[in-house]
Structure 1
Amino acid sequence: MFQSKKNIIAGRNPVTEALKAGQTIDKVLMFKNASGEAINEIRQLAKDNNVPVQYVPNEKLNSLTNVQHQGVVAFKSAIRYQDLQQVIDWVNEKGEVPLFLILDGVTDVRNIGAIARTALCCGAQAIIIPDKGVGALNEDAVKTSAGALELIQICRVNSLMKAVDELHLNGIKVFASEMTAKKRLFDLELKEPAAIVMGGEEKGVFPALMRICDEQFHIPMSNGFESLNVSVATGMILYEVMKQRITG
């Protein structure tokens, strides 16, 4: 995926300073054989700030920038990530019923942008994403979302399993979309606090994550054709939630 040059931070000192300053960083790319005190500090700062580090060949870094990168390149995020528990508290303090989305393995930034746009329109307050295995929330994603990614809360976590545990501790029921599930979307009770897990188009929801969800459901289709785009499916699900809550 193309990255705008202005979103790239290259070099050990610039990346270190960006992490220390609390800039929102999508990820750090590091030469797999890079070493030294500065590299160790970047690794630790990235860990402290929940920023994923990906180890790549030097040729990959060279293709991203013409400046001396010294084995380290970081991508600035187009949005600011929020703490999940703080978002839950914020929603409750406003007197709203929580409605969150969990994206597991959704990598296409156009889908993520479209999902954010629909989520905001249907009253969802937050989208929960893992720190790895999800499309970068870059300028393309923000553009596709028509700015929704800058308005809805985005929570980046290092484990979706732990995020589900945190939701459960806060009384939020977690539902997983799975086309082989017996229960239909329309049979769910969605007026209470809820989080919806949407899996990537290729692999779906990770099995271990699926097992700890409260319920699984499918979207009924008239002719058995099972190929809904993930952003379209998400829109159908969120509209059902909104319908239940409005007419409830």
Structure 2
Amino acid sequence: MGKSSASLIIGRQPLIEAIEQGRAIDKILLQKNTSGDSIATIKQLAKQHQIPIQLVPVEKLNTLTKANHQGIIAFAALVPYMDLQQVIDFVVQQGVAPLFVMLDGITDVRNIGAIARSAVCCGAQAIIIPDKGVGALNEEALKSSAGALQHIQVCRVNSLLKAVDTLHLNGIQVYTSEMRAEKNVFELNLTIPACIIMGAEGRGVQPYLAKAADYFFKIPMAGNFDSFNVSVAAGIVLYEALKQRQFSSISANKLS
């Protein structure tokens, strides 16, 4: 599904005003070789608010609108983006253990929506996404989530690795799947503050990010078929966290 015209912010000054007023922006399309004081201001605001800028030919902009775009068009976000540290502080103040999901390289918006739906149903408080390399939280993602994306905090960061550092500084343990892992998902202790990294199908979690994780797990399967769809795998892990947090006591010999 494409972007609706209502989600476009066209022109330099309208975009500056939108960002300064706190409107969430998915990304900015900037015509190549465009310059000027207002463009410099937009670049500075984009860096400050972690909004990705994509350089495109003028033909790309002309396909999106017939209006005078002045070399720049932005996509307004359908969900607000929150600061990761502020979300951690808020969750901790509620007296509950954080349960977050980090998405690494997942580009299929239907998978993102399905993961968000499982996250909300299983009590996760936030989804962490990078500012580049992940599917846009557009109308299709929102529809696939059955509205769940509007009921969970979404944190957009410019570095997933720095986000892991922030999680660690706040006492949040990071988990990721690994087919050769020794522990099954149901052997983990997911009652503690936790963030689960879900990677792109085929590639999985990027090695540099997996290396920063605290615990590895596998999801056992019958037979030798390829693997679960990423949104199904996320649902399995998240439900295990829900089960442990609400319905079971963790034995002393599990990870601590």
TMscore range, shorter length: over 0.9
- State the TM-score, normalized to the length of structure 2: 0.94
Q: In structure 2, what is the equivalent of residue 138 of structure 1?
A: 138
Distance 2:69 2:86 in 1: 36
Distance 1:55 1:181 in 2: 41
Could you say what secondary structure the match of 2:183 adopts? coil
Could you say what secondary structure the match of 1:2 adopts? coil
Deviations 1:137-159 (A, max 9, x none): 11221121111111111111111
Letter in 2 for 1:236: I
| Deviation of 1:162 (Å) | 0.6
Distance 1:165 1:11 in 2: 37
Distance 1:12 1:64 in 2: 16
Deviations 1:25-63 (A, max 9, x none): 011011121111111111111111111111111111111
| Deviation of 1:182 (Å) | 3.0
Q: In structure 2, what is the equivalent of residue 127 of structure 1?
A: 127
| Deviation of 1:181 (Å) | 2.6
Distance 2:83 2:20 in 1: 18
Distance 2:220 2:19 in 1: 46
Letter in 2 for 1:189: N
Unaligned runs of 5+ in 1: none
- Deviation beyond 4 Å, 4+ runs, structure 1: none
Q: In structure 1, what is the equivalent of residue 243 of structure 2?
A: 243
Distance 1:180 1:232 in 2: 19
Distance 1:38 1:236 in 2: 48
Distance 2:16 2:241 in 1: 43
Distance 2:2 2:222 in 1: 39
Q: Matched residue pairs, number?
A: 248
Does the Cα contact within 8 Å between 1:61 and 1:73 map onto a contact in 2? yes
Could you say what secondary structure the match of 1:202 adopts? coil
Q: In structure 2, what is the equivalent of residue 96 of structure 1?
A: 96
Distance 1:180 1:64 in 2: 46
Q: In structure 2, what is the equivalent of residue 224 of structure 1?
A: 224
Could you say what secondary structure the match of 2:67 adopts? coil
Written as runs of structure 1 = structure 2, the 5 A alignment for 1:15-30 is 15-30=15-30
Could you say what secondary structure the match of 1:179 adopts? coil
Deviations 1:101-136 (A, max 9, x none): 000011111111111111000010100111111111
Distance 2:34 2:181 in 1: 47
Could you say what secondary structure the match of 2:81 adopts? coil
Unaligned runs of 5+ in 2: 250-256
Written as runs of structure 1 = structure 2, the 5 A alignment for 1:79-118 is 79-118=79-118
Distance 1:74 1:180 in 2: 43
Q: In structure 2, what is the equivalent of residue 51 of structure 1?
A: 51
Letter in 1 for 2:133: G
Does the Cα contact within 8 Å between 1:115 and 1:235 map onto a contact in 2? yes
Change (3 A) 1:66 1:179: farther
Deviations 1:166-189 (A, max 9, x none): 110111100012223332212211
Distance 1:11 1:179 in 2: 48
Does the Cα contact within 8 Å between 1:179 and 1:226 map onto a contact in 2? no
Letter in 2 for 1:143: K
Distance 2:101 2:107 in 1: 15
Distance 1:65 1:109 in 2: 24
| Deviation of 1:224 (Å) | 1.6
What is the aligned-residue identity percentage? 60
Distance 1:184 1:227 in 2: 14
Written as runs of structure 1 = structure 2, the 5 A alignment for 1:157-172 is 157-172=157-172
Q: In structure 1, what is the equivalent of residue 77 of structure 2?
A: 77
Letter in 1 for 2:209: L
Distance 2:9 2:179 in 1: 42
Letter in 1 for 2:109: V
